[in-house]
Amino acid sequence: MTPRSPSSAPERTPAAAAAPTAPPKVPPVLSVRDVRIGDRAGHREVVHGVSFGLTPGKAVGVVGESGSGKTLTCRAVLGILPRHFEITGGSVEIAGTDITTLTPSRWTELRGATISAVFQDPASYLNPSIRVGAQIAEVLRVKTGLKRRQARHRAVELLRAVRLRDPALVYGQYPHELSGGMLQRVLIATAVAAGPRVLIADEATTALDVTVQAEILDLLDELREESGLALVVVSHDLAVVAQICDEVLVMRQGEVVEQGPAHEVLHHPRHPYTRLLVAEHEQYGLDRFLDPTEASS
């Protein structure tokens, strides 16, 4: 195991400092320190220590196959671990608040308003019998206390912000009338409705077509640039993470086997597993067939 020492992180701080909006030492909006997750029934640890920090406008990627613990880590951060799992060690701070101190009602307040998430199958997160606009408006009314008319107005704005072509039309449509990519946009709109500072995208583009996946990733990237949203992008696909992340964690069997700046992990992988992931991608991905000129043009 050769986890990169956190010492590689400071290398990147000057870059962050150079950004005009970021003061030299921005407090992290999400900080995960050596989080361990245990299975209550089996009394065994399934995630063996995950650490990363996230400042506004940054993106961290978590890569790993199914069962590597990446989703459990996300769920722990969101406070929605399945019942038989529990955090057994380490700490999670969201905007300076240690999550162990949170009561259920404070959690509810925090989720959506400060930290939010989108998942793989957008259709299952929407009520099929309610128009999508009304579902976003409901989130707005609950989370931000907007009046009915204002909420409606703001929902249409959000649908426009996620680059849906005819937001007013989409507002009045039912989930089954929308394509997978459009539904994921609606969910992103819902997730960012209350202006969270962290957005977790757990395999959010996995079920989508390539061009739609790129649209969603571009959208997330834009949101990050424009509103300083911090992103946690979880995927089994190294390349997806490579598109928009500054820092990458490679997980395997509950263990972070490699962690560091994206370009370094991708181009100089140290751990054999990361190398395997890179090699596999080069074997079936498009990279191998692209002439160097095309990629750089």
- The dihedral sign for the CA sequence 120, 126, 127, 128: negative
CB of 153 to another protein, least distance (A): 26
The answer to whether residue 16 forms part of the interface with another protein (CB under 8 A) is: no
Instruction: For 84, list phi and psi in degrees, rounded to 5.
Output: -90, 10
Which of 49, 51, 239, 253 is in the footprint of another protein by CB under 8 A?
A: 239
Enter the DSSP assignment of 28.
P
Nearer to another protein, 191 or 265 (CB): 265
Q: In which residue are the tokens 């043009």 written?
A: 297
Nearer to another protein, 99 or 223 (CB): 223
The answer to whether residue 243 forms part of the interface with another protein (CB under 8 A) is: yes
The answer to whether residue 247 forms part of the interface with another protein (CB under 8 A) is: no
Which of 15, 17, 80, 290 is in the footprint of another protein by CB under 8 A?
A: 290
Q: Which stretch binds another protein (CB under 8 A): 13-21, 95-103, 120-128, 235-243?
A: 235-243
Judged by CB under 8 A, the number of residues near another protein is 44
Which of 152, 254, 266, 271 is in the footprint of another protein by CB under 8 A?
A: 266
SS3 151: helix
Strands ordered across the beta sheet of 198-202: 115-118, 198-202, 230-235, 59-63, 247-252, 255-261
Retrieve residue 180's tokens.
């997978």
The answer to whether residue 65 forms part of the interface with another protein (CB under 8 A) is: yes
Nearer to another protein, 48 or 236 (CB): 236
- The dihedral sign for the CA sequence 65, 215, 54, 269: positive
Q: Distance between CA 276 and CA 293 in Å, rounded?
A: 26
Chain centroid to CA 100: how far? 21
The answer to whether residue 99 forms part of the interface with another protein (CB under 8 A) is: no
Tell me the sheet residues that pair with 87.
37
List residues binding another protein (CB under 8 A): 65-66, 165, 179-180, 209-215, 217-218, 221-222, 236-240, 242-244, 262-263, 266-267, 277-278, 280-291, 294-295
